[in-house]
Copies of this chain bind each other. A is one copy, B any other.
Amino acid sequence: MSASSRPRRPTVEDVAAVAGVSRGTVSRVLNGGHYVSPDAAAAVQRAIRKTGYVVNQHARSLVTQRSDSVAFILSEPQERLFEDPNFNVLLRSCTQELAERDITLLLTIAGTQADRQRVGRWVTAGHVDGVLLVSEHAGSPLIDELRSRGLPIVACGRPIGHEREISYVAADDRDGARQMVSYLRSRGRRTIGIITGPLDTPGGVDRLAGYRDVIGEPDPRLVGTGDYSQASGEAAMDDLLRRAPDLDAVFVCSDLMALGAVSALHHAGKRIPDDVAVGGFDDSKAALTSTPSLTTIRQDFTRVSAEMVRLLLATIGTENRSAVTLPTDLIIRNST
C-alpha cells in the first residue's frame, strides 16, 4: 500500500539498465562526464529524464565525505535578524554566491543555549562542509566545539577572543568610526558624544576605539551604550542629554539606534543638525528615508559576503586561517 503510493526511487542502477550502460558510466556522467562517449552520455541523459532520477545525496555524501552545503549560523535571538537590515543583505548575498558554485546554504538559528547544543551536534553530524558564523558574541562555546571537530569556519566580523584561531571578514569598523568623528570635528562640532553597541561585539569595541583615536580619552558623560535596537538608541540618547546637555554632536554606532536617538532629540526640542548633529553607522535604507536623512558609514556587505564565501571554500580542504578587513565609507547627508 505504502509501496504502491510511494514507489521506490530510481537508482543509478535503474538508470544504467534503461540506458544500456553500467553503473560506472552513469556515475561518470553525473560527475562531469569525463571519459564518456557522446553516445553513452546521451543515452544516460535520456534515461535520467525517463526515470526521473535524482541523486541520493546521502549515498553520495557517505562516499565523498562532503555534503555540498554550508551552514549559516546565526547565534543571536531571532528578533535581531529581522530588525537588522544587514543580516538581510548578508544572507541573500551568501546564498547567491554559494548557489553559483552549486552549494546550498542552510540557515540555522541558535538563539538559546539549548539551540546551540543542538546545532553543534547537527553540524558535526556531517550535514555541512563548513560554517559561516554571524554575530557571535565573545565567549560563546560554539566556536570551540566547531573548532574541535576541525570544521572550517569563517566569521563575519572580528570574533573577539578567537582572532588568531578562525578566519573572518570584517568591515573596517575602527576606521569608519574615525572617519565619522573626524568629519563631525571638521564641521566645527566640539562636544561629540557616542552611543556604542554592546561591548562584547567587535562593532561595539572597535567603533568606540575609532572614536577614541580622534577624541582621545573621552569624558565618561559623553559615552552611552545600546544594543543596536531603536529603543535602546532612544534611551541612551535621553541619558546622554541628561548627563551632557551641552553636546553638539553624537556618533551613534548603528542607524537603527540613530533613529531612536533622533526621536529622543526631537522630544527634547533639539534641532538636527542645527543644535545636535547625528551620525549613524551601516548606511541602511532607513538612514536614507528618515527625516532628516542620516549621515552614516557604509559597510559593503555584498563584498563581505563574497569574501566570506571565498575564504570558506578556500578553508575547506586546507587548514590555514586568514582575516580580511574591508574599507568603510563616509556618506554625508542632512543630519550633520
Contact residues of A with B, CB < 8 Å? 2, 5-7, 52, 54-59, 61-62, 67, 78-79, 81-82, 85, 88, 91-92, 95, 99, 104, 106-109, 114-115, 118, 121-122, 124-127, 148-150, 317-319
Contacts and interface: CB of A to CB of B under 8 A. Distances in A.
B88 A82 contact: yes
Nearest to A92: B78
A11 B330 CA distance: 53
Contacts of A126: 56-58
Contact of A2 (B95, B104, B149, B317): B317
Contacts of A115: 99
Nearest to A77: B92
A2 B57 contact: no
Give 6 nearest A-B pairs by CB, closest first: A57-B125, A58-B61, A6-B150, A107-B107, A58-B58, A58-B62
Contact of A319 (B6, B56, B124): B6
Given A6-B150, A78-B92, A58 B54 contact: no
A319 B2 contact: yes
A319 B5 contact: yes
B91 A104 contact: no
A148 B5 CA distance: 11
Nearest to A54: B124
Is the contact region of chain A dominated by helix, strand, or loop, or is it mixed?
A: helix
A54 to B, nearest CB: 5
Given A78-B91, A109-B95, A125 B54 contact: yes
A109 B104 CA distance: 11
Contacts of A124: 54
Interface centre among A118, A122, A125, A149 (most CB of B within 10 A): A125
A148 to B, nearest CB: 8
Given A5-B150, A82-B82, 17 more contacts: A2-B317, A6-B319, A7-B150, A54-B121, A54-B124, A56-B126, A57-B127, A58-B126, A62-B62, A78-B88, A78-B91, A78-B92, A81-B82, A82-B85, A91-B109, A104-B118, A104-B122
Nearest to A121: B54
Nearest to A151: B6
Nearest to A5: B319
A85 to B, nearest CB: 7
A79 B317 CA distance: 34
Contacts of A99: 114-115, 118
A67 B58 contact: yes
A86 to B, nearest CB: 11
15 contacts: A2-B317, A2-B319, A5-B319, A56-B62, A57-B126, A57-B127, A58-B126, A59-B62, A78-B88, A78-B91, A82-B82, A82-B88, A104-B108, A104-B122, A106-B106
Contacts of A125: 54-57
A9 to B, nearest CB: 8
Nearest to A107: B107
